[in-house]
Amino acid sequence: MLSDSFAEIVLILSSLILSWPLPLTVVQILWIHLLCDGPEDIVLGFEPKEKEVMTDGPKKMDGPILDKRGVFLIFLVSLLSGLFALGLFWYFGLYQQKMELGRTLAFMAISVDSILYIFCCRSFRKPFWRYENFWSNKPLFAVVALTLCLQILITYLPITQNLLHLVPLNLSHWGLLLLAAVTMVLLIEAVKAKMASLARFELTTSGSGGQRSIRLSYRDRPATYTVSQTIPKRKHWVSN
């Protein structure tokens, strides 16, 4: 929901700076937040826990709710989604002088992106196709399928066309929207993979005799957790 909000800010603010007409209407913005974001966010709250959830360690009481990874992903998704919707609005709405078509595609671009990249947000530790709980949240798949069907229907039903100021889309338009959504998913997964490699912890030991101090430090977190452990004199080293 935060990503969609900032994407709308990028889209509308850029249009105001460029002295363009507004690419989204008030009703369209409400539709995105209530029917494209709301159901998925609620169902995502019932997501089963990951196996590695206890490896994160405790968080500071005065620490931020979102870490650097979360903030960067929100920034990236918002910027790319907003700029792509802006490009669609410019090309179809201003360049081709089909204002209603341009608004429809800008509205659909943000809507479809927010529906599909929800799968990337289920786990920040691994790609969505390697997520062990991928099939566990059945209501999420039902909500995503229902929302996608609803987004397609509203472009062809007269009552929603008048309410949301939409026009029918052809197959090339839907293909363009799907390509943008898939590109967004791949970019998010690439950033997740890069951040996961940077977030791996470093293990160091110190001390003498039978008393050793094991130090776990995460590269992307300021906190360091130290545990004292007595290690027997006979040591067995196992290498992978």
Q: What is the pLDDT of residue 91?
A: 96
DSSP state of 55: G
Percent of the chain with pLDDT over 90: 39
DSSP string across 116-182: HGGGGGG-SSS-GGG-TTTTT-HHHHHHHHHHHHHHHHHTT-HHHHHHHT-----HHHHHHHHHHHH
- Model confidence at 1, pLDDT cuts 50, 70, 90, reads low
Over residues 33-57, mean pLDDT: 76
> Quick check: 69 pLDDT over 90?
no
Sheet architecture: strand order including 211-218: 201-206, 211-218, 224-230
More confident residue, 117 or 11: 11
User: Which domains does the chain show, CATH number per domain?
Assistant: 2-198 (1.20.1110.10), 201-230 (no CATH)
Q: Which two tokens stand for residue 160?
A: 């929603």
Q: pLDDT tens digits for 136-171?
A: 888 889 999 999 999 999 999 999 999 999 999 999
Q: Which two tokens stand for residue 183?
A: 């590109």
Over residues 26-43, mean pLDDT: 86
CA 164 to mean position of chain CA atoms: 25
Q: Which two tokens stand for residue 38?
A: 């709301």
